[in-house]
Every structure is written in C-alpha cells, then in structure tokens.
Amino acid sequence: MSMAVTQNRTASFDASKGPRSRFASLWAATTEAWARRAAYRRTLNELHALSDRELADIGLARCDIRRVAGEEL
C-alpha cells in the first residue's frame, strides 16, 4: 500500500518545473482560494443581513443562504 502512494505522488511531481515555478503555482492557488473564500464570506454576510421578506423577494429562504453563497466557491 505504501508503494502505491509513493508512486502516485511521484507521478504528479513534474521534475521539469523548478522550485520557483512550483512555489509560484502554489502561491497562485493559495491566493485564488483566499479570494474564493472571501467572496463566499462576503456573499454569506450580505445575505444574512437581509430580512426574511427581502430574501423572499429574491426567491430565497434563510435555509438557502449557505447553498447560494457556496456557489462562490
């Protein structure tokens, strides 16, 4: 079992990329994840700030807020 895990990890490692390129890719992915999370939290907070009447006007119930905000992820 350990050998299969090792083989899978080495198969996804691209030796042609240098350490700076790998770091840049990691940094870009992390920054993108932070931005998606920020958009999720912003949407969640804005929807939670609405009254039940305002949510109903846009076709949402309070229980739909997390699902709708999750579409930002």
* In the chain, where the domains are located: 19-70
1, 3, 11, 15, 66 from 6: Cα distances, Å: 9, 5, 9, 15, 38
What is the rounded end-to-end Cα distance, in angstroms, of the chain?
33
pTM of the model: 0.67
Check if the beta carbon of residue 70 is closer than 8 Å to that of residue 42: no
pLDDT digits (tens, 9 = 90+) for 28-54: 999 999 999 999 999 999 999 999 999
pLDDT digits (tens, 9 = 90+) for 20-34: 899 999 999 999 999
